[in-house]
Every structure is written in C-alpha cells, then in structure tokens.
Copies of this chain bind each other. A is one copy, B any other.
Amino acid sequence: MDESCTVYQAADFIGRRWTALILLELYKGESMTRRYSELKKRIPGITPKMLSMRLRELEREGLVKKTVDASEFPVKSSYSLTKSGKDFIKIIKVLKNWALTWKLDNKLCKNAECGKCPADNL
C-alpha cells in the first residue's frame, strides 16, 4: 500500500479536512447538487479557498461534476455527485456505523439527530 495504491489514496482522501463534509452536503442537496455559495453557507467555518480547492480535487478524482451557468449575470457554478461520488457515500455510512457500534460515547447520534452532524440521516 504505497502511494500508487488506490486504496491508500482513497483512505488518504477521505481523511482530509472538509472532504467528507462536502460530499455529504452534496448528497443532501436536491438531485445531489449544490451551488458553491450554498455549500459555503452550509459548511460553517470553511474558507472559500478551501472549498474551491476541495471541489477541484473532487472533480479531478471524478466524484463530483461541475456545471457552470454562464447565461446568467453573476456566473453560477453547480456541483453534483457523480455515480462514483454517490457510491463513496456508502464508505462514510460504514464508517459511521462502526463509530456507532464501538464508540459508546457516541450514543447521541444513535438516539437523536445531533443537529450539528451532516451525517445524521445516513
């Protein structure tokens, strides 16, 4: 599992700050799509720069598709999950499941929506 290994890359990927968060936000959007500014609003604390960077990475890796609507006046960008991106969500599900099973201090998530967590409805 050196750096050329896709499994390693995927693991590295999911561990980066904001990545999972962005994917989950897209997942929750209508037809799994969100605009840049929507994402910014819904992910508190992320800097615009980070958001662009992560989106570019996700696009490069094929998890996210970007669409630019240039017909309108301030040009608007939309990002949506590809099939591969949608499938990636299930990794997060398994992760959450593991956490719920073994991290007992995490009961909150099981019984109620903790409200802060974008993985609530997984």
If A16-B15, A20-B1, A117-B1 touch, whether A10 touches B95 (CB-CB below 8 Å) is yes
Q: How many copies does the complex hold?
A: 2
Instruction: List A68-88 residues whose CB lies under 8 Å from chain B.
Output: 83-84, 87-88
How many residues of A sit at the interface, in one of the four size bands? 35 or more
Closest to A21 in B: B1
Name the CB-closest residue of B to A88: B98
Tell me whether A106 is interfacial, beta carbon within 8 Å. yes
- A14-B15, A15-B13, A15-B15 are known contacts. Are A92 and B20 too (CB-CB below 8 A)? no
Q: Which residues of B contact A37 (CB under 8 A)?
A: none
Q: Is A5 interfacial (CB-CB < 8 Å)?
A: yes
Say yes or no for A55: interface residue by CB 8 A criterion. Answer: no
Q: Does any Cβ of B come within 8 Å of A29's Cβ?
A: no
Q: Which residues of A contact B (CB under 8 A)?
A: 1-2, 5-16, 20-21, 24, 62, 83-84, 87-88, 90-92, 94-96, 98-103, 105-106, 109, 114, 116-119
